[in-house]
Chain A
Amino acid sequence: MAWEIVVGIETHTQLRTRSKMFSGAATAFGAPPNAQASAVDIALPGVLPVANAAAVEMAVKFGLAVGGVINRRSVFARKNYFYPDLPKGYQISQYEIPIVAGGVLKIALAAGEKTVRLTRAHLEEDAGKSLHEDYHGMTGIDLNRAGTPLLEIVSEPDLRGAKEAVAYARTLHDLVTWIHICDGNMEEGSFRCDANVSVRRVGDKNLGTRSETKNLNSFVFMEQAIEFEARRQIELLENGGMVVQETRLYDPEKGETRPMRTKEDAHDYRYFPDPDLLPLVVSDSMIEKIRASLPKSRGDLRKELIESYGLTPAQAQVLTSNIETSTFALSTFAGQPKEAWPNLANWIAGPLAARLNRENKAISDSNVTPEQLKELYGFVASGVISSSAATGVVLPAMWDGEGGAARIIAQRDLKQMSDTGALEKIVDEVLAKNAKQVEDYRAGRQKAFNSLVGQVMKATQGKANPGQVNQILKAKLGR
């Protein structure tokens, strides 16, 4: 009989707060070791934790986005164990009563949409890092990460196989970045998954014994690890063996999982409510405020851009690549006439996106503002400048800080040529210099015509009206 692979995923998402879960220290990545460890993070004698309100809001935001129950009263608990990068000797987490219970995530599969149930999502703090390399035979401890806020999101064992698990993880990644609670940077560990994998005979109602593979920080590794793990368990069972409940690590170099610790030497974490923190109370008004701030889902917004804004699916895709871009686009569209939207969308999805990409900037740091784009569009719509001048000259100049559209147009003398005589003269010159293209065109090659238009536009520094150029060229070429 065939085997069924059953997977549940636990995801640690680092919340994008400025300060830590229980201290005022910064959370930015990449600072020198221990530069961002406060007295609270080091767990000096006498220090006390204070819960970060921004992290709580983000957890609520997630709960609302997945339709979970927001527990009005949740409890922080201590998870006790000794490790050098765990300064207090316990991690503050939520145990019996998490902030979010239940909820669902809909994932798209080849066979159609699947609804994955979530068990819970709870707030906790991250541990520090042990650095095992090159400390004169000793281990270094970096507590910069200690206390960083995490939302641990736990799925039910609803996923069947590696592909579904990855689809789930991608969808979750997409959601937490879209609602802006996590930067999604997997290399820096902002989004890491543990996979609980078990196998059973198809039709079997009971779950098999599971293993937990920790810290999968890429979708590729996740798929490989789950596939390896399922294969390993199936082989084991088919050879009459038993799966042991244990924690395993994936080694991407060897493409295999290895045992880390078994249930027998599992810690007794001695969870109990943290007496330093009062129960976390979330009010109805806070929930309503957060609900109102939730963005439309990416799918809904994409649909709206296509159906109501008249954009192409490709444009809609780019404009919803992240929440900052969609916010930028919507504020650019605001107050503009309908016919302006595709043009404005083109600028954002085209030259602006390319420039941001080249300079490795987020759109929130763009040199060009939505207001500037609106102004620029006004000059194109009224025929003052050509669309190509706007794209090719004004936009780059704006980016480089030459000021607003009006100023750049004036300074660079970009007003469209309205003198037909002068344009005809330029067209004649271009035709004279490009006998080969003229010949090609007459032989029926449309490409040659486009090239001639380009030559004229270039000769006029983009100031010619392309429609007019087309007309004159066609007349002169005898068609």
Chain B
Amino acid sequence: MLDSGLGELQAALAARRVSSVELTQLYLGRIRDLNGPLNAFITVDEKTSLEQARRADERRARGAVGPLTGIPVAHKDIFCTRQLRTTCGSKMLEHYTSPYDAHVVEQFERAGAVQLGKTNMDEFAMGSSNETSYFGPVRNPWDRNRVPGGSSGGSAVAVAARMAPVATGTDTGGSIRQPAALTGVCGLKPTYGLVSRYGMVAFASSLDQGGPMARSAADLALLLNVMAGHDARDSTSLPRAKEDYTRGLALPLNGLRIGLPREYFGEGVEPGVRDCVRAALGWFEKQGARTVPVELPNAALAVPVYYVLAPAEASSNLSRFDGVRYGHRAKEFADLADMYCRTRAEGFGAEVKRRILVGTYVLSHGYYDAYYLKAQKVRRLIARDFAAAFAQCDLIMGPTTPGTAFALGAKMDDPVQMYLNDIFTIPAPLAGLPALSVPCGFDAQGLPVGLQMMGNHFAEAMLLGAAHQYQRATDWHQRVPKEAPL
């Protein structure tokens, strides 16, 4: 049962082979066993989850069945929930409980899902290894001495280690796709504006996008059906008609044009990663797909552009954490300025402070044009590169990350090395494009490798179809992590 996808779980619940309470208990037990060593969850409240499961069973008995009725879902701790605290991985919000549910959480509730708990993450989603969490690092179930990636590392590990059948994540520069790749699961970052950001604690507003994480692309499609949709409370939410993202799962690969950006296959990609990605591309070609070289000449600038724009927005978004109305407040202070300084010095970790400083700097009088404005211009150039590339191909493929999971602590002292881990995931959000990561093999050390697929705006159904076809022919996503045996 722990190994089942959403389709099997839905069938089992519908046939009354299992109740939601039983299913929830199963996963709660698994969390109890594994969360100590893996630290994937920050908050689990068994009573709340079981109560929700009991009510789901009642609704099913009455015949009121939604698409996810009774299915346990883990939420990244960036989504506001009324019933469980929302820490965003920070001391600043250690004891904060939101008085309202995020739009995404509401959508899952409407679909009938059960909240399994809140997953660990890099503090305020700032990190690529899940080591910046105030609640301690998450460990990779393929090797506990390695990081799971970040910032949605808790969600990725929860899914990889079968502590949850599916989970939500958020992606700003790769925070869904990179941990998905490093833990051997699937993750999709939708087109910007497809999933409402209302109730998602903001990191970088123009880039943040919620998305699903699961073991299969088919499950991602079912989850996206629930998560996507217009929300008037988010001015950047797109007023589009609802789509069925499962409709393209049977995508014919014959004739599919796959763009291969030169920039994604150069130096700096580990051989283990390169070989797996090449093999996967070979499989697509065997199915009749055609690979075409494309160019993303400004992609090399994506990391610096991102590390100007994201911190700029973050420095402003995080100003609300001032100790005045909620969250951490320093116990002792001399005056107002001192209260702000101590509260924020105590409440934020090193990486968050680093980004607030960088963001404040690039927005400062005299530096704005040289940094922020210049970065915005390059951002438009990157988007233009993608538009030109998609004139020649249907999808773009390449590695999700240059390497597999690295050792805990290996990059914590070198932020630039850490940032470069996102080199392949950062371009898509800068252009607002959808992208997913799907497992495509293991390197020599037995660590999972992710294949990234990027699509044009609103090409989610095609991305999911391509990934689903690949998963029908491969079993990478069915492998069980060594350190989380069933």
With A50-B235, A275-B206 as contacts: A45 and B322 at CB distance below 8 Å: no
Say yes or no for A381: interface residue by CB 8 A criterion.
no
Contact A49 B202 (CB under 8 A): no
With A39-B99, A45-B96, A46-B80 as contacts: A270 and B325 at CB distance below 8 Å: no
0/1 string, B361-377, CB within 8 A of A gives 1: 00111001000100000
* B39-47, B126-134, B285-293, B311-319 - the one binding chain A: B311-319
Contact B235 A89 (CB under 8 A): no
With A50-B233, A78-B316, A88-B320 as contacts: A45 and B363 at CB distance below 8 Å: no
0/1 string, A386-420, CB within 8 A of B gives 1: 00000000000000000000000000000000000
Residue of chain B at shortest CB distance from A278:
B235
Report A408 CB to chain B, min CB distance, Å: 51
0/1 string, A15-42, CB within 8 A of B gives 1: 0000000000000000000000001001
Contact A48 B197 (CB under 8 A): yes
Say yes or no for A47: interface residue by CB 8 A criterion.
yes
Residues of A160-187 at the interface with B, using a CB-CB cut-off of 8 Å, are: none
Say yes or no for B25: interface residue by CB 8 A criterion.
no
Say yes or no for A87: interface residue by CB 8 A criterion.
yes
Say yes or no for B93: interface residue by CB 8 A criterion.
yes
Say yes or no for A346: interface residue by CB 8 A criterion.
no
Contact A84 B88 (CB under 8 A): no
Contact B319 A82 (CB under 8 A): yes
Contact B326 A275 (CB under 8 A): no
Residues of A43-76 at the interface with B, using a CB-CB cut-off of 8 Å, are: 43-51
0/1 string, B77-100, CB within 8 A of A gives 1: 001100000101000010010111
Say yes or no for A141: interface residue by CB 8 A criterion.
yes
Inside 8 A of A90's CB, which chain B residues have their CB?
316, 319
Residue of chain A at shortest CB distance from B93:
A45
Contact B235 A51 (CB under 8 A): yes
CA distance A48 to B312 in the complex (A): 18
Contact B201 A45 (CB under 8 A): yes
Say yes or no for A80: interface residue by CB 8 A criterion.
yes
Say yes or no for A268: interface residue by CB 8 A criterion.
yes
Residue of chain B at shortest CB distance from A267:
B365
With A82-B319, A272-B372, A275-B206 as contacts: A46 and B198 at CB distance below 8 Å: yes
Inside 8 A of B225's CB, which chain A residues have their CB?
none
Inside 8 A of A82's CB, which chain B residues have their CB?
319, 322, 340
Say yes or no for A375: interface residue by CB 8 A criterion.
no
Contact A89 B360 (CB under 8 A): no
CA distance A84 to B320 in the complex (A): 10
CA distance A39 to B206 in the complex (A): 21
CA distance A272 to B234 in the complex (A): 19
Say yes or no for A453: interface residue by CB 8 A criterion.
no
Say yes or no for A459: interface residue by CB 8 A criterion.
no
Residues of B232-266 at the interface with A, using a CB-CB cut-off of 8 Å, are: 232-236
Contact B319 A88 (CB under 8 A): yes
0/1 string, B288-327, CB within 8 A of A gives 1: 0000000000000000000000001101101110101110
Say yes or no for A276: interface residue by CB 8 A criterion.
yes
CA distance A70 to B96 in the complex (A): 44
Inside 8 A of B204's CB, which chain A residues have their CB?
275
Say yes or no for B205: interface residue by CB 8 A criterion.
yes
CA distance A38 to B316 in the complex (A): 20
Inside 8 A of A51's CB, which chain B residues have their CB?
235
CA distance A48 to B320 in the complex (A): 13
Inside 8 A of B319's CB, which chain A residues have their CB?
80, 82, 88-90
Inside 8 A of B202's CB, which chain A residues have their CB?
45-46, 276
Inside 8 A of B211's CB, which chain A residues have their CB?
none
Inside 8 A of B395's CB, which chain A residues have their CB?
none
0/1 string, A222-249, CB within 8 A of B gives 1: 0000000000000000000000000000
Contact A272 B320 (CB under 8 A): no
Say yes or no for B336: interface residue by CB 8 A criterion.
yes
CA distance A44 to B233 in the complex (A): 14
Most buried by B among A43, A88, A89: A89
Say yes or no for A282: interface residue by CB 8 A criterion.
no
Say yes or no for B199: interface residue by CB 8 A criterion.
yes
Residues of B176-231 at the interface with A, using a CB-CB cut-off of 8 Å, are: 197-202, 204-206
Inside 8 A of A275's CB, which chain B residues have their CB?
204-206, 236, 313
With A46-B198, A268-B365 as contacts: A278 and B236 at CB distance below 8 Å: yes
Contact B205 A276 (CB under 8 A): yes
Say yes or no for A318: interface residue by CB 8 A criterion.
no
CA distance A159 to B205 in the complex (A): 43
Residue of chain B at shortest CB distance from A42:
B325
0/1 string, A258-284, CB within 8 A of B gives 1: 000000000010111001111000000
Residue of chain B at shortest CB distance from A79:
B316
With A46-B200, A46-B202, A275-B206 as contacts: A84 and B324 at CB distance below 8 Å: yes
Top 5 A-B pairs, shortest CB-CB distance: A89-B319, A275-B206, A275-B205, A270-B363, A46-B199
- Could you list 30 A-B pairs, sorted by A, with CB under 8 Å? A39-B100, A44-B98, A44-B326, A45-B88, A45-B98, A46-B86, A46-B98, A46-B197, A46-B201, A46-B202, A48-B197, A50-B233, A78-B316, A80-B315, A80-B363, A84-B322, A84-B324, A87-B325, A89-B316, A141-B324, A268-B364, A268-B365, A270-B360, A272-B368, A275-B205, A275-B236, A276-B205, A276-B235, A276-B236, A278-B236
Known: A44-B326, A87-B325. 13 other contacts (CB 8 A): A45-B201, A46-B86, A46-B102, A46-B200, A47-B199, A49-B235, A80-B363, A84-B336, A89-B320, A141-B324, A268-B364, A272-B312, A276-B205
